[in-house]
Structures are given as structure tokens and as C-alpha cells.
A and B are shown apart, each in its own frame.
Chain A
Amino acid sequence: MSQAVRTAVETAAREAYGRLLAWLAFQWRDVAAAEDALADAFVAALRTWPVNGVPAAPEAWLMTAAKRNLLQLARHQRLRSDPAVTVLLGDDSAPDVGLPPLPDARLKLMFVCAHPALDGSVHAALMLQTVLGLEARQIAPAFLIPPATLAQRLVRAKKKIRDAGLRFEEPEGPELAERLDAVLEAIYAAYGLGWDAAGPDGTPAPEAGIAADDLSQEAIYLARLVAGLMPANAEAQGLLALLLFCEARRSARFDAVTGAFVPLHEQDTARWQRALIVEADQCLWQASALRSPGAFQFEAAIQSAHCQRASTGQVPWTAIATLYSRLLHVAPTIGARVGQAVAVGEASGADAGLRLLDALIASVDASGDYQPYWAARAHLLVRAGLPNEAAAAARRAIDLSRAPLLRDWLARRYRIATA
């Protein structure tokens, strides 16, 4: 098969998968059947496009092929009286005629995935799978669940969606707010997967198998969609602000020449994208005007404070420490406690920060295996003038780190510090 055709199929898969699947699942009320029909459509594309050429509207072609597959399934199951089938029959346009742009049903599908009748531990993963087309093995690390277990739970959730007749219309009132939290969490997780998978040139880490830039771009797109649809929801604006702040610094995380990892406080601020930072600050300002503080807004405010270094040359550590303590009131996570310890260590002296880390490891067992805990500890121990202890903590951080570039950086830094 020619490279051009393979590229065309891959591009269509990347750009259209979520939109096509959401629309099909919406018409059909069956996520698993829609996934199968769409997968078969992609297989058919790989078979016929090399012969007949890439169609002018690949997305419409794939949609028509997937709809045919679903209709075939319906004939097989004798469900022609089903209203979903009637909807699909109503629009039997020829493959290559451009369909009008599909209404984006992805957000609606995300709300279905967050249905309270589905196991809560699978909400975010189900959204990532259906809307971004990720496989269980790619998603599992983000949720600290074994891939096989996650795959099983996803299958079970999709079965329930099909069999139990969940409503696909958007929820209203208090239920909307409840499900929105799960939707925002999933978007944040998607961005995180892209962030972790990214290498110096934006290419994915080979073991991740995800196009990291695409994933982050999709996450930002979805965050914009939610923020646009719900201008009065402060956390939706907060999440968008948070992602934009991170995105602004994405490329500065790696040395332009060597590709080596560069920590936040050594990044060249000239490589930060000013336009994104301005947009993020506007989002955060809009969010705070709604007077409904939440975790994403505090995290965004912390990122905003870090970005001040670009204009003032200083990191406002005292303000950051205060923001962390407010964040901990609404979301007492290990990550936030480690962040607070570092900020307090910078603002009030390394000993104060180390005391917070000591309290953390005494109260939360899991912190023993949490890589950022040991990286923060090593950092503060150097500040406290204890290089040997710092090297031991750094070794622990290196052992727990999955990212090779981060491991390299830690090794370089602490060999110097302990020499």
C-alpha cells in the first residue's frame, strides 16, 4: 500500500475518530457497536482507498461505511423497527458526497460516559477511550490500574450502556454539575497523558504509542468546548486556564539543542508562548469573577504565579505557598502536598519544607513510592546543606521515574551536587 494512502487513513483516524464515534454512538445508543462499526470502516478504507484513491471527503466516506455496518448488524438482529435504525436509514447519502459538518456530539458522549449508573472508577477512562480512541493499555497508567483490569471494566461499562437504556441527552441541573466534574477530570487526564508522553520534538515516547501533541491538542480543544458551552462554570474556565499555562511552556521543557530535560525554574522564559499565557490569565480572571473557587482554578493560579517569572524575573514563592494551602482545602492530594512543601521550602527556608515532607510520609503510605516526593526531598536537602542525604533521595527518585529524560537530568544534577 502506498504511504500516501496510509497517511490519509491515519490522518482521518486522528482527526475524525472521536467525532465520528460520538455521532454514531449517539444515533445508535450503543458505544461498543459503534466502535466495531467504525473500526471495520477504517479496515475497509485501508483496503479500498489504495485502489479507488483517497475520497475527497474521507470523513463522510468513513461515516457512510460505518453506518452501513451498523445497518447490516441491525438487519442481522432484525431490529428494523428500532428508532435508531430509522435515523440511520434516513440519511443514506452516497459515500463521496460531502455531508454537512456533523454537530460535535463528543461532549454529549462524555456526559453519557460520566453517567452515575456506570462504575465511577471507569468514567474518565471510558471518555478517553470513546472520544479520543485510546486503548486500555495506553490509558491505564494514568489511573494506576492494571491494563487488563481496566479493559474488563470498560467492556462492562459499554455493555451496560447498551443494555440498560441510559439516556443520551445532556443532564440538567444538579446532575449536570456532578457529571461535569468527571468530564473535567477526564480532559485533565488526557492532557496529562499527552504531557507525560511528549519528548523533546513533540514526538511520543515509543512505549506510549500515543501522538502526544495530538492528545494535548485534543484535550485543549475539549476544554475550550466545555468552557465555551458553560461560561458560567468557574471550574470549566479554570481547567482551560490551567491547560493553556502548561501548553505555553511545553516546548521550553526541553533544551533546544541537546533535547535534555529542563526544570521549570531554569527554563528560558523567552521560549514560553506569551499569547497562550495572556489567554490563560484572561480565562482565570473570568473564572475568579464567578466567585466559585475550585481545585482547577487554584492549580491554574499557581501556574500563573510561576509564569510571572517571565516579566519580573522572580518566582513569588510566598504567594504560591498560600495558593497551595488553599488548594489543599478543596483537593488534599499527595501531589499538592509535595508542591506545597517545595513552595514553603523556597519561601520560608528548606527546613520548613522538609518538615512538611516528613509529616506527609508519616501520614500517607503511598508517598514512599511517589516519585515527585523524592525529587522534592532531594531538592530541599541540597538547600538545607545535606548533600549526602540529598543524593540518597535523588537515587530513590531516579529509580521511581519512568521518563528517561527526567532520570538523566536527576542523575546529572545530583552527581554535581554530591561531587
Chain B
Amino acid sequence: MQYMLIYSEPLDTFALRDDSAQAPAYWGAWNAYIGSMAQAGVMISGNGLQPPHAATTVRIRDGRRQVQDGPFADSKEHLGGYVVIEVPSLDVALDWAARSPSALSGSTEVRPVLPPPPAPAG
């Protein structure tokens, strides 16, 4: 089964990316983690994301386009990246989630990927 692991971090953890003293440790942890998933052959796809200050949110309301600076909701934790993995069960996906650096600083959500709809008959 495929699962998306959704990594969320608090803003002060995002800030480590730009802290010259701490950035190497921050990226080192993520590289080691992503590297071990790649090595285990479970990773289908994934990306890291720029911090929430770079986010723009769009809504259509009453037929009008509303564009807003910032992520969709103000919250303590923000989406920082995601991967899709192929593993036999939720339990294995939870094990991978538990190893992610964001599980320590923020949270990692695990969601099963919607399976493709069945092929049409005939």
C-alpha cells in the first residue's frame, strides 16, 4: 500500500535552515532519513518545501478569485515536505514516520494514498 508521510515543523525549526551554525545538523538529519528510505527501496516520490513565508493561498468565493499571502491556516506547525512510500502496512509506514526529524520537532501525519478507481467494465 502507498502512504503519504506529511512532515510539519514549527517556525523555529524552519529557522534552523538559515542558521549557519545549525543548518548542517538540520539538513544532515533529513538527508540521512530520506537516504535510508531510498536505500530501503520504499520511496515512490517526495519533495521538501520552502518555508511558509513563501506560501500563497488562493480561494474562489462568489466567483471571485481571492489571493492571500501565507499558508492556508495560521498554526503552530507548517507543512515542510512530504514523501510517498510503498510499504506492506500502516505499521511499517508509522515506523518510517517515527524516524523522521519532524516527528521530534513537530509532527508527521500518515495518510493512505487513495487507490486508483477500478478499470471500467468490458
Mark each residue of chain A from 162 to 179: 1 if its CB lies under 8 Å from any CB of chain B, else 0: 011111100100000000
**When the two chains form their complex, are residues B90 and A167 in contact, meaning their CB atoms are under 8 A apart?**
yes
Is B1 on the interface with A (CB-CB < 8 A)? yes
On whether A78 and B119 interact (CB within 8 A), knowing A164-B112, A165-B112, the answer reads yes
Given the complex of chains A and B, what is the CA–CA distance between A48 and B116 in angstroms? 39
The secondary-structure label for the interface of chain B is: mixed
Is A363 on the interface with B (CB-CB < 8 A)? no
Is B105 on the interface with A (CB-CB < 8 A)? no
Is B94 on the interface with A (CB-CB < 8 A)? yes
Is B118 on the interface with A (CB-CB < 8 A)? yes
The minimal Cβ–Cβ distance linking B52 to chain A, given in whole angstroms, is 28
Given the complex of chains A and B, what is the CA–CA distance between A161 and B94 in angstroms? 14
Which residue of chain A is the closest to B119 with respect to CB atoms? A78
**When the two chains form their complex, are residues B1 and A117 in contact, meaning their CB atoms are under 8 A apart?**
no
**When the two chains form their complex, are residues B112 and A117 in contact, meaning their CB atoms are under 8 A apart?**
no
- Which residue from B3, B88, B112, B118 sits with its C-beta under 8 Å from A167? B88
**When the two chains form their complex, are residues B91 and A167 in contact, meaning their CB atoms are under 8 A apart?**
yes
Is B56 on the interface with A (CB-CB < 8 A)? no
- Which residue from A77, A79, A117, A163 sits with its C-beta under 8 Å from B94? A117
Is B92 on the interface with A (CB-CB < 8 A)? yes
- Which residue from A78, A79, A165 sits with its C-beta under 8 Å from B90? A165
Given the complex of chains A and B, what is the CA–CA distance between A167 and B89 in angstroms? 5
**When the two chains form their complex, are residues A166 and B119 in contact, meaning their CB atoms are under 8 A apart?**
no
8 Å CB interface, A195-252 against B = none
**When the two chains form their complex, are residues A164 and B118 in contact, meaning their CB atoms are under 8 A apart?**
no
The secondary-structure label for the interface of chain A is: loop
**When the two chains form their complex, are residues A78 and B91 in contact, meaning their CB atoms are under 8 A apart?**
no
Inside 8 A of A77's CB, which chain B residues have their CB?
118
The minimal Cβ–Cβ distance linking B59 to chain A, given in whole angstroms, is 29
Inside 8 A of B119's CB, which chain A residues have their CB?
78
**When the two chains form their complex, are residues B112 and A163 in contact, meaning their CB atoms are under 8 A apart?**
yes
Given the complex of chains A and B, what is the CA–CA distance between A168 and B93 in angstroms? 14
Inside 8 A of A79's CB, which chain B residues have their CB?
118
Mark each residue of chain B from 46 to 73: 1 if its CB lies under 8 Å from any CB of chain A, else 0: 0000000000000000000000000000
Which residue of chain A is the closest to B2 with respect to CB atoms? A165
On whether A78 and B118 interact (CB within 8 A), knowing A163-B112, A165-B1, the answer reads yes
Mark each residue of chain B from 88 to 118: 1 if its CB lies under 8 Å from any CB of chain A, else 0: 1111111000000000000000001000001
The minimal Cβ–Cβ distance linking B4 to chain A, given in whole angstroms, is 12
On whether A165 and B94 interact (CB within 8 A), knowing A77-B118, A78-B118, A78-B119, the answer reads no
The minimal Cβ–Cβ distance linking B108 to chain A, given in whole angstroms, is 13
**When the two chains form their complex, are residues A166 and B118 in contact, meaning their CB atoms are under 8 A apart?**
no
**When the two chains form their complex, are residues A165 and B89 in contact, meaning their CB atoms are under 8 A apart?**
yes
Would you list the 6 A-B pairs with minimal beta carbon distance, nearest first? Answer: A167-B89, A167-B91, A165-B1, A78-B118, A165-B90, A164-B90
Binding site for A on B (CB under 8 A): 1, 3, 88-94, 112, 118-119
List 24 A-B residue pairs with CB atoms under 8 Å apart, sorted by A's residue number. Answer: A77-B118, A78-B118, A78-B119, A79-B118, A117-B90, A117-B94, A163-B112, A164-B90, A164-B112, A165-B1, A165-B3, A165-B89, A165-B90, A165-B93, A165-B112, A166-B89, A166-B90, A166-B91, A167-B89, A167-B90, A167-B91, A167-B92, A168-B89, A171-B91
Q: A78-B119, A164-B112, A167-B91 are in contact. List 7 more A-B contacts (CB 8 A).
A: A117-B90, A163-B112, A164-B90, A165-B112, A166-B89, A167-B89, A171-B91
